Structure 1
Amino acid sequence: MHQPHQPVANGAPPHHVNGDAPASNGDVQPPGLRMSQTDQEIVRLIGQHLISVGLERSAALLMEESGLHLEHPAAATFRQHVLAGDWVKADHDLRALHDLLRDSPHVDPHNLAEMKFVVLEQKYLEHLEAGRALDALHVLRNELTPLQFDTARVHRLSALMMCADPHELRARAAWAGGAARAGVLARVQAALPPALMMPPARLRALLAQAAAHQAARCRFHAEPRADPRPDHVPFTLLADHHCSPDRFPIHSLQVLNEHCDEVWYCKWSPDGSKLASGSKDNTVMIWDFDPAAKRLTFRKSLEGHSYGVSFVSWSPDGRYLLAAGPEDCPDLWIWNMQTEQLHLKMSHSQEDSLTAVAWHATSDKFVCGGARGQFYHCSLDGALINSWDGVRVNALVCRSDGRTVLAADTHHRVRAYDFTDLTDRNVIQEEHAVMAMTLNAADTLLLLNVANQGVHLWDIRARALVRRFRGLSQGHFTIHACFGGAHHDFVASGSEDNKVYIWHINGEEPIAVISGHTRCVNAVAWNPAHHDALASAADDYSLRLWGPRPPNHS
């Protein structure tokens, strides 16, 4: 009985190794079957995927019926011999591949030497691991060294001859032994045109890219776009992806009325387990969040803030909470959130105005300032490290480099200050006052609440205005916007018209406008860990929790 041939090759002839040639090199399409280059590649992708899930016979039948091969025969045998550790035959296969590639304009000659080096390095290490020191020495002297490629690496390899046992060899070489053969294949494959050897799991990679693209374009996709499992796409492939707004945090879940005056600010802890709210009633309230029940529960009131609390900032490690007051407040409170006790009340002068604070990434230093010209760099014990005179600050954020602080000042600017060498430079110039600002997780985009303008998005690397978000009402009140979603694809802000506005970062018009508050919404906070939870604080004395539509809600 006739047996179908095995799927071994996917190639064009030597003068078409870049993959834009008609089927050839053993690819013979049956009479009457005419496939475009794209169709041929799709068939090969399907064949590769069938093999990866264990359907070898189906793949072989597909290749036989189509007259195609998955890979160039030399590439297929090279793969087989590398994985088997047959280095003599692998070297022969590599020479055949070199002959195919030598005259190709699409292949860097440097890559050919690297391919050879990678294979010989594995061969050398396996000889050492097996105790064949003379064979290893032969490879080192007569094969690796004459390549004259990465001589520093060759010197490090020669030092491995002194390893006492395989365990020491693997540790010093940072090498996985025979298990590294797949890595060798991957490194060689990266230098080969895909017409000769397809990248592994290529169909999965294409589907994952398509899924990520659809998720990025989805108006309501707040969850991570990529799944760590390569065999799993987080939504069906059988239809275009669209998240339902029912799963988006625009539905009122809870109204919290424990504050007895205007609520000026709210902020989630870095792990999303707690919410802190600051109020004109002189308290900071701490709330526990249950992500399963989507409920906030009152935990503790931090009291003694005699001027009210207009801003709070969690340290990046979640251990401390800084609380600042309005313009006439000269004090800062640092709360230890593990003991829930006051760590320090800081005041340098009763003439100070300390309304803006921001933590460095190390959680042991912070900056603070205000509109009266104070701008301090402080340690956790309140000691003044250094200061900048005459800088009238409305808002502060620390960049991830551990040294740069962005400060919005009363001249409508955002300037970068380096407290290590006391240098500064202009980053952004607005036409109106910057009332509040926040930085995205990637440290590339800056979100500004601008008086009489609303919310502006800036690319701080290009120093370019990316977008003006439309819809909200903002005069001279301080309103705090935020980024949201797993990839900070969303922007949310309060508004003087008592509503919460949400935009996708790629569009100027809001994707949602949610009502519920009866007075100005001063701040919104998107949970950094549970992306379907949003909190808002308003002048109506309330906090609100927004989340997915409850199951029993019509």
Structure 2
Amino acid sequence: MRYPEQAEPSSAGPSSAGLDHAGPSNGHHVNGNGVQKLTNGKQAVARVSLPGSHLYDDSDVDREEFVRLVIQSLRDVGYHGSAATLEAESGYAMESQQVADFRRYILEARWSKAENALQRLGVEDREGLWDARFLISQQKYLELLEAQRTTDALQVLRNELAPLDVDPEQLHILSSLMMCSQPEDLRQRAGWDGATGKSRHILLDNLHRYIPPSVMVPPRRFSALLHQANEYQRQQCVYHNIPTSGSSAFSLFADHECDKTGFPRVTTTILEVHTDQVWVLDWSRDGNLLASASNDKSVIIWGIGPETEMPIREWEKRLVLKHPYPVISLAWSLDNSILLTGSETHIKMWNTKTGICIRTLDEHSEPVTAFVWLPDNSGFLSAGMDFKIVLWNTDGQRQETWATLPVRITQMVITPDSTRLVAIGLVAPSPVDARPDGDAPPTGTNMSTPPPKEQHRLLVYDMDSRRNESCMVFEGELTSLSISENSQYALLNRSPDDIQLLDLNLGRLVRKYTGHRQTKHIIRSCFGGFESNFVVSGSEDGNVYVWHRDTGVLLEMLDGHGEGSVNCVAWNPSNERMFASCSDDRTIRIWEAPPDMMLEEYPLQKGKGKASGSRT
């Protein structure tokens, strides 16, 4: 906003923290000659008049908005004198005196004046005005309780908060705070840090939602715009695989783009010990051990050597765990001390240091297809084609049947935020009701009626209540399930030739990834890289495919495996530049970013991975 020609503007001060520095020291005024004179004794600043209203002739950026944001940013970082000088030279004030007064009233707990000022700040929506008044009265109520002025607080509750059509449950919660005998108890129960904390500044930030941004500039707005620009650049950088903070943070001086040479697309090690098809891979939690399961009735635990001056780290076969049947499922405990394996209906618990089988569990009546360890390390869940999920403690003692699902479970995952269990499987005739809620079937239900042909489902359960939250139905076999690090996305392999990205929060399809081949085999894909930026999958054509998650662009088609399917890929959980793949060709390949010594020998112009050698 532009100053009135003879008006005295507000003084400089922090924009997001309130006008703590308000006062005449950085004030200025306009004299009759159009010269802004600073009142702190500094040299007068002449006001600059520029043609037009845009920042540049070929720009759509409004000059006044830009300058006001610069003034706000200068104040935020402490350059109060520079902010005042810019206001004087440009003739633009970051905000009006009314806004400055409103900020001061909030920070000084002058609640009546704050409410009166609020109505003069352009809040036109009646509901918005009521919401803003509620926030102010709520702060007033809490501060009175903190000061142990219970009678005054009760008057605010009855006469100011209750008439605002507050949700009864919310009003009940506020009234219950009157039972707090000590201020510490009040602050803890209310999730509020008190009058002397940051609560008034937080209140100001929340009030921004109801005041037009042109009147009261949102806090740290320039920083928010820069963050949005950086986030856009990150999303457009299809090979992005590095943290965006610290020494590798984005620069403001150039657009961001990651070098392709840092992407894992070279086979640095081939592990050749299995005597039959390798089906499943699973990394230990620290990324130093890799377990592989095979049709040869064994699981091998591989160890990666320590980092050395050599560009390629050594691998070794640590343990071979023998089974009576082929192994189809694996899971490491949270401390990596136990490995669970599923072989037909048997569950085996292995000591990963000695290779001794601790216990064999025989609860399931059909093949065991999935395990997940509980986030609190109190035990694990097992699931199988017999429709049920069983809860075990860490010693392998059965606790209960955690749930009975309406599908033959093929895979399940607990989301990284520990709030939901996601499972996939095939609907088939069973002794239980084939409905997502798992309740008793309605009277007259014919349990022998088969479901539609090849109907598969994705089911989401709340971990605390164990109730079903959602169900999605698919045609075509679901063979793989992965969850992104932020717990928002689920990745599904669906035959034929389809990998889908689902938003679990919205319950809808976000994107599809194509190019690989899957018609008859179980293919297990996964997320990978920094912030789960990549989707990687095997294929029946013997190649490994890598896509950029957010754009769906196919980045790499990595060859090297022999005939047959690449059955499983697994990204190292502690190394964003390493993943493993296993194949019908009986081998496991470790893929890494090409070491410097290999770049000249294998330039990889076409994105094809080349084997550098093997370790056995």
Q: TM-score range by the shorter chain?
A: 0.7 to 0.9
Q: CA deviation at 1:503?
A: 0.9
- The aligned counterpart of 2:367 is 354
Percent identity of the aligned residues? 26
CA–CA separation in structure 1 for the residues paired with 2:467 and 2:160: 51
Distance change in 2, residues 1:195/1:302 (3 Å): same
Give the SS at the match of 2:370: strand
- The aligned counterpart of 2:433 is none
Distance change in 2, residues 1:386/1:95 (3 Å): closer
CA–CA separation in structure 1 for the residues paired with 2:407 and 2:353: 33
Q: CA deviation at 1:356?
A: 1.5
Distance change in 2, residues 1:170/1:339 (3 Å): farther
Distance change in 2, residues 1:7/1:188 (3 Å): same
Confirm or deny that 1:484 pairs with 2:528.
Answer: yes
CA–CA separation in structure 1 for the residues paired with 2:265 and 2:498: 20
Give the SS at the match of 1:241: coil
Q: CA deviation at 1:423?
A: 9.0
> 1:59-458, aligned counterparts within 5 Å?
59-80=83-104, 82-83=106-107, 86-88=108-110, 91-101=112-122, 104-105=124-125, 108-121=128-141, 123-124=143-144, 128=147, 136=149, 139-140=152-153, 145-149=158-162, 152=172, 155-156=175-176, 158-159=178-179, 162-163=181-182, 170-171=187-188, 174-180=192-198, 181-223=200-242, 227=245, 234-289=249-304, 295=313, 297-298=315-316, 300-315=318-333, 320-325=338-343, 329-337=344-352, 341-347=356-362, 353-354=366-367, 356-359=369-372, 361=374, 364-370=379-385, 374-380=386-392, 381=396, 383=398, 385-386=400-401, 393=408, 395-398=410-413, 400=415, 405-408=423-426, 411-415=453-457, 427-431=472-476, 433-441=477-485, 445-458=489-502
CA–CA separation in structure 1 for the residues paired with 2:473 and 2:570: 24
List per-residue Cα deviations over 1:128-184 (Å, max 9, x = no partner).
2xxxx6xx4675366665313465466455445x53xx6566556643441233223
Give the SS at the match of 2:542: coil
Q: CA deviation at 1:492?
A: 0.7
Are the equivalent residues in 2 in contact too, given 1:535–1:544 (CA < 8 A)?
A: yes
CA–CA separation in structure 2 for the residues paired with 1:510 and 1:322: 34
> 1:1-80, aligned counterparts within 5 Å?
6-7=11-12, 31-36=49-54, 38-80=62-104
List per-residue Cα deviations over 1:43-80 (Å, max 9, x = no partner).
11111111222222221111111111112212223434
Are the equivalent residues in 1 in contact too, given 2:458–2:473 (CA < 8 A)?
A: no
| 1:546 alignment partner AA | W
Q: CA deviation at 1:438?
A: 3.5
Are the equivalent residues in 2 in contact too, given 1:470–1:509 (CA < 8 A)?
A: no
Are the equivalent residues in 2 in contact too, given 1:473–1:496 (CA < 8 A)?
A: yes
- The aligned counterpart of 1:542 is 587
Are the equivalent residues in 2 in contact too, given 1:412–1:434 (CA < 8 A)?
A: no
1:513 alignment partner, one of 528, 536, 557: 557
Are the equivalent residues in 2 in contact too, given 1:369–1:393 (CA < 8 A)?
A: yes
Give the SS at the match of 2:322: coil
- The aligned counterpart of 2:575 is 530
Cα RMSD, aligned residues only: 4.2
Are the equivalent residues in 2 in contact too, given 1:313–1:358 (CA < 8 A)?
A: yes
- The aligned counterpart of 1:498 is 542
Give the SS at the match of 2:267: strand
Give the SS at the match of 1:199: coil
- For structure 1, the 5+ residue unaligned runs are 11-26
Distance change in 2, residues 1:409/1:435 (3 Å): farther
Give the SS at the match of 2:197: helix
Q: CA deviation at 1:434?
A: 3.6
CA–CA separation in structure 2 for the residues paired with 1:418 and 1:469: 23
List per-residue Cα deviations over 1:408-448 (Å, max 9, x = no partner).
468533235799999999733324x4444434455554434
Confirm or deny that 1:470 pairs with 2:478.
Answer: no
Distance change in 2, residues 1:38/1:119 (3 Å): farther
CA–CA separation in structure 1 for the residues paired with 2:575 and 2:178: 51
Are the equivalent residues in 2 in contact too, given 1:366–1:377 (CA < 8 A)?
A: yes
Distance change in 2, residues 1:114/1:311 (3 Å): same
- The aligned counterpart of 2:27 is none
Are the equivalent residues in 1 in contact too, given 2:275–2:296 (CA < 8 A)?
A: yes
Give the SS at the match of 2:67: helix
| 1:522 alignment partner AA | N
| 2:161 alignment partner AA | Q
Q: CA deviation at 1:254?
A: 2.6
CA–CA separation in structure 2 for the residues paired with 1:204 and 1:359: 41
| 2:542 alignment partner AA | N
Q: CA deviation at 1:504?
A: 1.6
Distance change in 2, residues 1:500/1:69 (3 Å): same
Count of matched residue positions in the alignment of Structure 1 and Structure 2: 509
Give the SS at the match of 1:303: strand
| 1:377 alignment partner AA | I
Q: CA deviation at 1:250?
A: 1.7
Give the SS at the match of 1:358: strand
| 2:568 alignment partner AA | A
TM-score after normalising by structure 1: 0.77
| 2:541 alignment partner AA | D
Distance change in 2, residues 1:355/1:120 (3 Å): closer
Are the equivalent residues in 1 in contact too, given 2:9–2:97 (CA < 8 A)?
A: no
Give the SS at the match of 2:159: helix
- For structure 2, the 5+ residue unaligned runs are 1-7, 16-33, 37-46, 55-60, 429-452, 600-616
Give the SS at the match of 1:427: strand
Distance change in 2, residues 1:471/1:379 (3 Å): same
Distance change in 2, residues 1:476/1:138 (3 Å): closer
- The aligned counterpart of 1:15 is none
Are the equivalent residues in 2 in contact too, given 1:274–1:288 (CA < 8 A)?
A: yes
Distance change in 2, residues 1:95/1:208 (3 Å): same
CA–CA separation in structure 1 for the residues paired with 2:157 and 2:406: 62
Are the equivalent residues in 2 in contact too, given 1:9–1:76 (CA < 8 A)?
A: no
TM-score after normalising by structure 2: 0.70
